[in-house]
Amino acid sequence: MQGGAKIMSMHMLDKNPALTHGAPVVRGKISPAMEELERLRKEYTITDIEKLVAQGKKAIWGGLSWEAPLIYACDTIPIAFSELWRSESHEAESVAEDYFQIPPEFCSMIKAMIGRLHLRAPDPINKIIYFGACCEPIVNVLELAKADNYDLYCIENTTSFKSEDKRPEVIAFLVKELERIVHWLNEGKPLDEEKLWAEIKRKNLVSQKIRTILDLQVKAPLYLTVLNTAQLLSGSSHYFGQAERYIALLDQLIDELTVAALTPEDRYFVPVVIAGGGGGRGILNAIEESHGAVVGWVAVGTQYYRLDVPPLESIAHYVLDAQSRGELGEGAGTSVSYRKHRVKNLINKTHARGLISSSITGCPYGSVVQKIERDYLQNLGIPIITLERNVHKDPPAEEQVMRIKAFFEMLS
Ligand code: SF4
């Protein structure tokens, strides 16, 4: 079993009632960086994006992953698909089941997505982009949105699961696909390469700062709540629509964590790595109530966009490299087999004691990834708990919470 947490003696626990077994871990005090995060989150809503669209700004659904620098360089706001189930997700799911006749046991993410798109029609944000290498059900279901006058753009399926598959002709094919995006979004206007370079460099800068923060978090694991960290990471793709403020926030947080890391943590905690997005607010809270500290997030990639090739090639290399590293998830067409290596490396690097792996109920991709990881980690003697969830904001089932608590008791 892996170690790493500083375990308090029973004497210390007895003396401090706030730290006795079963009490929530006391998290870091309010920090200026987290206050700014809260402000940025409140100011970044779909309503605000809709106002910009009404003023003439372009926006599309999707395009917020590896291709985001290109979308921004085309003066377009990419919107995360997750915005489609942020509210009234049950209503959207009912539309998917009743109107589109999607079976109830199907993945709730897909149902909420197509149901919400239908409810929004006629939608002022009527362009949708997706990668053909992502999960097959999503590709099929998004086709249904055409009937509601959505303009769908599919980046043709391109994969390179081994480095030798990343041949020049594969890169050239993907570059052509990216050029088609420019044509689609810019309506014939050529790509502004300088703008694209600026976006790529900004993304690299943000990635580098996020990595610094996550490294510091291993030394100051209780400074941020698990939920705050998840929110911070989600901002690394859209910057909450305010890149300069987001980057300043990251700098502020690096300063705060650098100071916090100088004092060894003496509160009791159990370090774990999380994969598959964490499982929502209720699950993240249950982790904290069980004295868990997430010291590694598999959601974060480990690479930068290359600066030694033309910018569209740089984007092509980035996604194909991610596929063969098991990073960026199914949206980037990543192989189900490789994430386990990333998990193991992160557990070794952070001295986590186990993995919390969550996926969406009914997701064929997620269930295969979890099965592969379970077998792999169990062979290595690394504990793993696999959780399933849906996209709704409902509190987690009591059984899920009990399983999480039992997992942490086992790790204690
Ligand atoms: S959760 Fe799984 S099935 Fe659902 S959209 Fe994502 S990858 Fe596809």
Q: How much is the pLDDT for 29?
A: 60
Residue 391 beta carbon below 6 angstroms from any ligand 1 atom: no
All residues at 6 or more sequence positions from 360 whose CB lies less than 8 Å from its CB, including other chains: 107, 108, 109, 366, 388, 389, 390, 391
3-state secondary structure of 79: strand
- Give the per-residue SS3 of 97-145: HHCCCCCCCCCHHHHHHHHHHHHHCCCCCCEEEEECCCCHHHHHHHHHH
What are the structural domains of the chain? 10-40+194-411 (3.40.50.11900), 46-191 (3.40.50.11890)
On the 0-12 / 13-18 / 19+ scale of CB atoms within 10 A, 240 is buried
CA-CA distance, 322 to 66, in Å (whole number)? 9
Strand partners, 276: none
Q: How much is the pLDDT for 14?
A: 32
Q: How much is the pLDDT for 299?
A: 81
3-state secondary structure of 293: strand
Q: How much is the pLDDT for 164?
A: 77
Q: How much is the pLDDT for 19?
A: 35
Residue 365 beta carbon below 6 angstroms from any ligand 1 atom: yes
Q: Which of 85, 107, 144, 328 has the most ligand 1 atoms within 8 A of CB, as the residue to mutate?
A: 107
**Grouped pLDDT means (10 residues each) for the chain, 412 residues:** 31 33 44 93 93 96 95 96 92 97 93 96 96 86 94 90 83 96 94 98 97 96 92 93 96 96 93 83 88 91 93 96 83 79 94 94 89 95 93 89 94 91
3-state secondary structure of 67: coil
CB 215 within 8 A of CB 256: no
Q: Is the peptide bond before 122 cis (omega within 30 degrees of 0)?
A: yes
Ligand 1 nearest atom to the CA of residue 359, by list position: 1
Residue 213 CB-half CA count within 13 A: 26
The ipTM estimated for the assembled molecules is 0.97
The 10 Å CB-count burial string (b at 16+, else e) for 146-164 is: eeeebebbbbeebbbbeee
3-state secondary structure of 351: coil
Q: How much is the pLDDT for 157?
A: 86
Q: Which of 138, 142, 335, 391 has the most ligand 1 atoms within 8 A of CB, as the residue to mutate?
A: 138
Q: How much is the pLDDT for 278?
A: 63
Q: How much is the pLDDT for 8?
A: 30
All residues at 6 or more sequence positions from 239 whose CB lies less than 8 Å from its CB, including other chains: 206, 246, 247
The residue assigned the tokens 């629509």 is 241
Residue 360 beta carbon below 6 angstroms from any ligand 1 atom: yes
